[in-house]
Structure 1
Amino acid sequence: MQTVPSETEPKRRTAPVRGSAARAGRVSAQAAAVLVVVLLCLVVVRLPWAGDLGMHAATVQRLRHNLAHPGNPLVDADTPSPYYSPWMLLLGVVAKLTGLSVFVVLRLAAYAGLGLLVTGVLRYVRTLSTHRAAPALALLSLLFLWGPLLFNWSGFLGLNSLALTVAYPSVVALGLAFHFWAWLTRTLRGQAGWGASLGLGALWALILLCHQFTGVVASLGALATLLAARPARTVLPRLGAGLVLGLLVLWLWPYYDFFALFSAGADLEAIHRPLYQDLAARFGLVLLGVVALVLRWRRDRRDPLVLFFVLGALVFAAGGLSGHYSWGRALPAALIPAQLAAALEAVSAGRRAVRRGWACVLLVALAVGAWTQVGTLGYVLGRDALPGAVAEKYRTPWVGYQWIMRAGVRYGDVVMARTFPARQIPAYGPYTVAPGYPDVFLKDAGRREAAVERYFAPGTAAAQRRGILREYRVTWVVAGRSEAAPWLEKTAAGPGGQVLYRVLP
């Protein structure tokens, strides 16, 4: 007798297929995330130089020579510096005890920062979703969901930006921030004890000391978490005690006055104005995350990611409207929750068809973002090994100034140089006349910058130039081939037509 199939049989047959597709998607996302992390680990081997790496290397140099009184990291002056954070102090101790070169120590720091970031994202995302693919999708969204115009800045988690800043304290601070949010979320869901509250306060202060701008982002995320959790009144005194402890740590930190930074914003506005330019091209793909946030808000009016985004967007907008462009460094407080929401919607949307559709859109957006940043491969393979279209997106790192050290420049020597070389030369131990970066605690920074401009100005008299060299105890000059003077002796030639001159007595 022929058996008639029941109506439930097709469902039994398709369920394994659907399960297999879900597993394939999860495994693909996890494999992609692992490959990206491996790529970043390989980038650390070469440690491409751009931006502020010289500042951080100089900071480690000063600490390895004098942990108690390192002085200004860039110029020969006895001033505090916000770069002397607990993290950089630890790196200085490692360099001093092991004798490792500063750049080896920075590579170790890069691996530590990358580990903190990846594990922090994993822990925080697990407080938002139990789906096994969520952490991998979240990491991919944080790295690739940006825009078609390449954007690099410390504290911003695009893949190319992270490749160039992976040894910076901002990466460590971001990693700690994700751990901070995860710990705070779990603490508020349970009974917040005194130990956990005090620990959270100490961690909050550590983040602020390591990278002040990321500390602001961490604070906004913590506030959003508190508003979303609506903790019981009995918990508030313990959290308040943690806040007081954090403020006490900030006040007692001996290497610089943390609270003095609040009056230093005027010196930082010009350098941060570009954060408000080309927003659509740099961050356009994040709009997918904004849509996801709207969907989350419709499901839960106190969703922590929605509140986090709103707080970050308000601070960023206030900075642009008021001319306080340094407030633009709070933008990750809007980007991070939107990027996470975009990833989570692919695993948490209500109907399966909606989730699949969202996952397809997310995949396309991630592919666009990945293509924008594909030049990052050049930091591992080299430009010549890249296909033509990929090589066009590669940005050559800075060469560095090792050549002046081989020519006889020593630790503590003062070098007269323009701004670009002044951002790299202190990394090897010498000082420059003027700092290559804004320095809020160096009172005569403007005078030093003016002195450098006068020295290199064509119309400056010989006696005045000689006087500038004597005033700042300059022993070397880095300039072009045409920098001829009776008190200078050509010592070495470097890349790009640069020449190292010794200052004669």
Structure 2
Amino acid sequence: MHTAPSDTEQVGRTAPPGGSASRVGRELPQVAAALVVVLMLCVVVRLPWAGDLGMHAATVQRFRHSLLHPGNPLVDADTPSPYHSPWMLLLGTVAKLTGLSVFVVLRLAALTGLGLLVTGVRRYVRTLSGHRAAPALAFLSLVLLWGPLLFNWSGFLGLNSLALTVSYPSVFALGLTFHFWAWLTRTVRGEVTWGACLGLGALWAVILLCHQFTGVVASLGGLAMVLAARPARGVLLRLGTGLLLGLLVLWLWPYYDFFALFSAGADLEAVHRPLYQHLAGRFGLVLLGVVALGLRLRRDHRDPLALFFLFGALVFAAGGLTGHYSWGRALPAALIPAQLAAALEAVSAGRDLVRRGWACVLLAALAVGAWTQAGTLGYAVPRGALPGVVAAKYRTPWAGYQWIMRAGVRYGDVVMARRFPARQIPAYGPYTVAPGYPDFFLPDAGRREAAVERYFSPAAGVAERRGILREYGVKWVVGGSEAPWLHRTAVGPGGQILYRVVP
């Protein structure tokens, strides 16, 4: 079995106790990691809007108004949604009971997810190394060891990506995942009880329900840790019982059919194809961790991080070779173990000149990664306060559509809008005609998208446009041209016009 060295053994192996160089080596990563956490706390206060934030805000809105029958988050339809997770249910309950606004609740969600992530990384890394600096350096590697080309996607832990997704269920699920791995590792190394295995099974199911792609990563990592521990048959029986409990939880979840997601991959392939582009630019620095994994594998052919990486790399490669590009969401299963391995190899440097050289190379790689993502500072402080070279890396968040609510739009009103505003408008309570995101549980999604395209087409006639508005019960229109049946109500950012539909 794999056991982590104690702090005394690790420190004794790496440097003379009390040495100034040793203290700097331990304290520098901790200070840097603390600064990153402070930066993220400042980001939570501002909560920059980009990507899927509108979808998650809309889901909380629906639960806030009906815990039992939230309906589709984006359009006025009574359909299930894979976003109806236990975490969203809890956030919606908090919003309903406290009266807090959805965006305040999402900030609380961000604080919770960030806290789970930081503590989860610490707990799991402690199962791999007893070095005091290991958790902090591992955290820095997870957020900075990426590539010279900026990359943002939910479920990926790059610093800039984390800043934009910190309130998403993916960050909450990743935090739970690190705790799951830590608990599983300690369980298979010690006395394996029925209670622990059942708890692990339930936690595994919650992760899958909250963010399905992160659940796949959690599963691959868990499999690697079990195989690395070489458990006895009785242990496998207990773990198998926990697995069955997890499957039961997935089957009993009332808000959507988890197992129906397996037939939905075809609708997601085009969206995920970019995951297979610019790999060297986005993830090139992770090759340092791949080398570290090779060293670990040479020392131990059942190293859990090496096995974890192999599973993740195989799934990612299989997705690219077969055209199942949604499998690319399993890439963190290859990135995370490589990033952790790079950090662990560095903290074991000690007096070994070769390994000290490794630590210097890792430091340089982290500096490159930090510079690539320096624009993240703009999400915490005003852009004008940044040096020019840093401000150039900053990407302005979306402005939002709260202005339409001030103009008279109400919760539950249907708004005709193109795709980009449709990704934000439901966050405030209204519905749109077509969803701004792929929705494979909505049977008429294609028909709705075609209706929006026809309405805004210059070739559409008066009767056709009015017929579309009546069919979907539209009360408001954002954008498009003037018409006798539309009353100009407000003008928003960028000259966008809100029209009220005149009966």
Q: TM-score, normalised by structure 2?
A: 0.96
- SS of aligned partner of 1:235: helix
Matching residue within 479, 486, 489 for 2:487: 489
The offset of 1:352, in angstroms, is: 2.3
Matched, 1:125 2:140: no
Distance 1:347 1:368 in 2: 19
Q: Report the counterpart of residue 247 of structure 1 in structure 2.
A: 247
The offset of 1:380, in angstroms, is: 1.1
Matched, 1:134 2:137: no
The offset of 1:385, in angstroms, is: 1.0
The offset of 1:349, in angstroms, is: 4.7
Whether contact under 8 Å (2:127, 2:182) holds in the other structure is: yes
Distance 1:212 1:401 in 2: 29
The offset of 1:348, in angstroms, is: 2.3
One-letter code aligned to 2:220: L
Describe the shift of the 1:350–1:224 C-alpha distance in structure 2 as closer, same or farther (beyond 3 A). farther
Q: Deviations over 1:368-405 (max 9, x none)?
A: 00000000000111211111100110000000000000
The offset of 1:52, in angstroms, is: 0.1
Distance 1:371 1:16 in 2: 33
Distance 2:255 2:447 in 1: 24
Q: Report the counterpart of residue 11 of structure 2 in structure 1.
A: none
Whether contact under 8 Å (2:147, 2:286) holds in the other structure is: yes
Distance 2:25 2:39 in 1: 21
Q: Report the counterpart of residue 148 of structure 1 in structure 2.
A: 148
Q: Report the counterpart of residue 318 of structure 1 in structure 2.
A: 318
- SS of aligned partner of 2:450: helix
Q: Report the counterpart of residue 92 of structure 2 in structure 1.
A: 92
The offset of 1:351, in angstroms, is: 5.3
- SS of aligned partner of 1:105: helix
Find the structure with the greater CA-based Rg.
1
Identity of aligned residues (%): 84
Distance 1:88 1:69 in 2: 13
Q: Specify every segment of 5 or more residues in structure 2 that has no aligned partner in the other structure, as ranges.
A: 1-14
Q: Report the counterpart of residue 500 of structure 1 in structure 2.
A: 498
Greater Cα offset, 382-391 or 40-49: 382-391
The offset of 1:356, in angstroms, is: 1.4
Distance 1:235 1:350 in 2: 37
Matched, 1:57 2:57: yes
Q: Report the counterpart of residue 196 of structure 1 in structure 2.
A: 196
Distance 1:93 1:474 in 2: 29
Q: Report the counterpart of residue 210 of structure 1 in structure 2.
A: 210
Q: Report the counterpart of residue 291 of structure 2 in structure 1.
A: 291
The offset of 1:22, in angstroms, is: 1.1
Distance 2:260 2:19 in 1: 57
Q: Deviations over 1:392-420 (max 9, x none)?
A: 10000000000000000000000000000
Matched, 1:340 2:335: no
Describe the shift of the 1:272–1:463 C-alpha distance in structure 2 as closer, same or farther (beyond 3 A). same
The offset of 1:355, in angstroms, is: 2.6
Whether contact under 8 Å (2:16, 2:22) holds in the other structure is: no
Distance 2:138 2:380 in 1: 24
How much is the aligned-residue C-alpha RMSD, in angstroms? Answer: 1.0
Q: TM-score, normalised by structure 1?
A: 0.96
- SS of aligned partner of 2:316: helix
Matched, 1:177 2:177: yes
Distance 1:231 1:17 in 2: 36
The offset of 1:260, in angstroms, is: 0.2
The offset of 1:121, in angstroms, is: 0.2
Whether contact under 8 Å (2:486, 2:499) holds in the other structure is: yes
- SS of aligned partner of 1:186: helix
Distance 1:416 1:351 in 2: 66
- SS of aligned partner of 2:380: helix
The offset of 1:285, in angstroms, is: 0.2
- SS of aligned partner of 2:474: coil
Distance 1:101 1:298 in 2: 53
Whether contact under 8 Å (2:228, 2:303) holds in the other structure is: yes
Distance 1:496 1:216 in 2: 41
Equivalenced residue count is 489
- SS of aligned partner of 1:381: coil
